[in-house]
Structure formats: C-alpha cells, structure tokens
Amino acid sequence: MGLDMDLQSIQEVRDLIRNAKRAQEEFGTFDQNRIDGIVKAIAEACAANAERLAKMAVEETGFGIWQDKVLKNLLGSTITYEFIKDMKTVGVIHEDGAKGIMEVGVPMGVIAALIPSTNPTSTVMYKTLISLKAGNGIVISPHPGAKNCILETVKIIQEAAKKAGAPDGLIGAIHLTTMEATDALLKDSNIGVILATGGEAMVHAAYSSGNPAIGVGPGNGPSFIERTADVAEAVRRIFDSKTFDNGTICASEQSIVTERCIEAEVVEAVKRQGGYFMDAAQSEKVAKFILRDNGTMNPKIVGKSAQAIADMAGIQIPAGTRVLLSRQKEVSKRNPYTREKLCPLLAFFVEEGWQEACERSIQILQNEGVGHTMTIHSRDTDVIREFALKKPVSRLLVNTPGALGGVGGTTNLAPALTLGCGAVGGSATSDNITPMNLINIRRVACGVTELSDIRAKYNVPVPAQENYVKPPQEISSGGGLTAEDVEAITRAVLAKLKG
C-alpha cells in the first residue's frame, strides 16, 4: 500500500532540504571567484533559453505576452547578473583597519523560494542567482499553475550549475506540489530564510512559519498625473507599464489620479493612445469578473488583454483598445476597481488639486498595497518631494513606467522580482531584494579604548572599590610581604602597563 500524495510530498521536501543543506555546507567553503563562476554559468544558460521558457510560461498559465516574458527572463538572468556580479558576499567583504573593524559575509543556509504563476520562469532565475551569489542553497516551491515551466527552468539551472562545479542537491524543486509540501518547506527548522512572492495568504503563511521571511504582498499603486507633467508622455508610460505582459508585474499602475484643471487633456491623451472609458453599465459588468466571492483577485482576468476581458464580460469596445478605464469616486474593499488588478484595467480619479490627489493616493494604498509602489508624473520638484515625504510606499517612481521602474528596468533601483514593502506593508525590508539581503554579516571589532578612558571622557565617577591602588612606597618592607602588599604591587604594575 503506497503513501498518500500529501505524505509523499512532505517526504520529498524533507529529502530536498536535507540534500540542499549538505550541498550548501560544501558550497559555503567555496571562495568568491568559484561562486561567481557558477552564478555566471547559470545566468548564461537562463538567457540562452529565455525565449523558449517565455513561450512555455504563456502556454501553461495563459497569462501575459511571451515577447514581454522574454524581457522578464533577461531581467531575471542577464540584468540581475550584471548588477550582482561584482558584489562581495562571502569571506571578508569589508575591512577598516583604522577603525579596527572587519566584516565577514556568512550565508544564511538554505533558501525556501515560493514562485508565483504570474512571473514563473523569471522569478526562478532571479531567486536562484541571488541565493547562490550569497553562498546559499535553494529549494523551490512551484505554483501548481505554472509547475511545468518552473521545473523546466530549474532543470536548465541545475545542469548549468553542475557543469560549473556546484555540489549536487544545491538547487532543488518540489515536484509533488501540495499545500502540505509547501507548509513543510516553510516550517522546516533547516531553512535559513523564506523568499515569498505570491498571494497575501501565502505571504502571511511565510511570516507565520517560525522561520525568517522576506515577503511581498499585493501591489495597488496609483499613478498621479500632476498639472506640470507632460501629459502625453505620462499616459504613454502608464500604458507601456499596464500593457507590459498584460499587467502581471505587481508594481504596475492600478489607478490614474489627476487634477481637475488637466482632466480634459488627460482624457484626450488616454483615448488617443488606445484607452477606453467604460460607461457605468460596462463598468458594472466588468466589475463582476475582477474579484472572486472570497474577495481575492479572479485569476481569470490575470494577464489577459483588454479585448479578452471585454469578451469575458460581454461588452463592446473599439478595436485596438489597449487599456480599459472606469471612472471612480469611492475607495473601498468592496470596490474592485480600487484593488489590485493584474491586467490592463485602471480606475480613474479626478481631484481638485495635488493635495487632494495626495490624500486620494494614500486612501488607495491603505485600501490595498500599502508599502509597495506608486508613480508620479510631474515637473514640480516640490510636489514630488511632498509625495515622497507622505506616501506609505517603499518605491516612489517619478516619470517612468511603474512595472519596469519598480523592478529596476527603467530606473537605477536594484533589478529584482521580489520587492520589499517595509514595516508598513508587513515586510521585513523595503529593499529590492539582492544577495546582500541573503547573508548575515559577522563583525570583528578590535578594542580601541579602555573603561577608564570612557569614564574620563564622560566624567563618570569611579566606584569606591576600584578607586584605590596602594602606591609602591607604602608597601611594608620590614616584616616581609603581606597578601595586601602583593595585591597592591600587582594593581600598580597593571595600572602602569595599561597607562
């Protein structure tokens, strides 16, 4: 009688972790050059298969556009490698002789990597590269809806790593994908840290596992078009972002917020560039497909084109429509247009001035996506600064597409497919995650001062029992040395040596 699948999957996870831990202990002895050679080989193999894996991902998931997923795969491989290749991550990574400080990079061990279905192949590449660059092993938990393309990516990576000299078992992936397997992976005491990219429930499970975790929840970034912006350029960038891979990057814009004084100009630019404003009846029909009964995003709309969404909802839209927009006035959990929509759908808000737009943006973020990302299109540095000071986000992107800017494609942010949301978003960091987030730093510190010096500097009184050292001339010489004499001599000598 065989084991049930859930029990088999749990055993598979235990074996994967055991093998990864053993391999990582060997890998952890490699110097920086040896690790870098393996990382480079993996990046090159991923780039060589970028197109094939992109097509596999679209075919399996039905999400997005394969040409855009090629670029995502290059972001997860070549672009990430170029950014991290010169980082010092193992051994002595920093030394300051003048201050007596040395820093040593220490791997965290085995990384548990949860992979979403929206960016499956690219996220495997990216998480493997940053994990190995930091001297760690990795065990990957595929999303069941993208299992085949994820496992094929892992196979390519494993083969490249082995040829380059990586120990067997350093890179593992769950083949029996069950909830029990993922739960066992998250809670295993041999996991150094969890990289969780996925739905809110999955990220919460990672933080509740008892292991350190870096999680990314939903994005819901508004995009503010301010009166000084180049409106046509602002709309172009928003549409470039919202149509890139049909909006499956969580940093992509979810709403447009603009000012009353430029409303007509923004509306005209939207229509000219392929946006379509749905009327109330059409908006109502589409709204029914955005959320499921449990309040989460409907996977049927994820990564679908504007035309596919219109067909699904049974509404007529102009041929060539790129983005669907719905005018909104209320922000709430019940309003699907003010939630995350990983497809070419945008809410549209008009406010009296930038102060009201600022408050509306905060309201949208607090509804969902707090701590993540938003964009602003403006030439007014004072307004940009005010938004930077007040918005509860980890990335405020200026005059750039949100999707590509957030992941470091069109900005100088670190290339990353895991975007920290900071404490306000329930995350351990606000960084774009790099290998430096996956090492511990051991600090070696030499003594540079003494207790007596610190007391003197800050004028702190010396306790009475430490305040007296018997001078040598007071030591009796007539009847031999007493115990007190010996102690006094010792104290005097030590004091002189220290002085």
Which alpha helices (DSSP H) does 400-482 contain, by range? 402-406, 451-457
CA-nearest of 182, 77, 201 to 130 is: 77
Strand partners of residue 276: 324
Residue 480: left (phi > 0), alpha (psi -120 to 50), or beta?
left
CA-nearest of 328, 358, 344, 352 to 224 is: 358
Exactly one of 46, 149, 250, 343 is catalytic; which is it?
A: 250
Query: In angstroms, rounded to a whole number, what is the distance separating the alpha carbons of residues 126 and 391?
Result: 28
113 C-beta neighbours (distance < 10 Å), count: 27
Query: In angstroms, rounded to a whole number, what is the distance separating the alpha carbons of residues 292 and 452?
Result: 68
Question: In Å, what is the CA distance from 137 to each residue of 186, 267, 421, 438, 442?
Answer: 15, 51, 25, 11, 19
Residue 141 φ then ψ, to 5°: -110, 105
Report whether 233 contacts 269 (CB < 8 A): no
Query: In angstroms, rounded to a whole number, what is the distance separating the alpha carbons of residues 177 and 8?
Result: 10
Report whether 340 contacts 368 (CB < 8 A): yes
Active site residue 421: no
Question: In Å, what is the CA distance from 306 to each residue of 74, 228, 244, 404, 449?
Answer: 26, 29, 12, 20, 68
Q: Given strand 222-225, what is the order of strands in its sheet? A: 275-277, 323-327, 345-351, 255-259, 222-225, 371-377, 393-398
Q: Which residues are catalytic?
A: 250
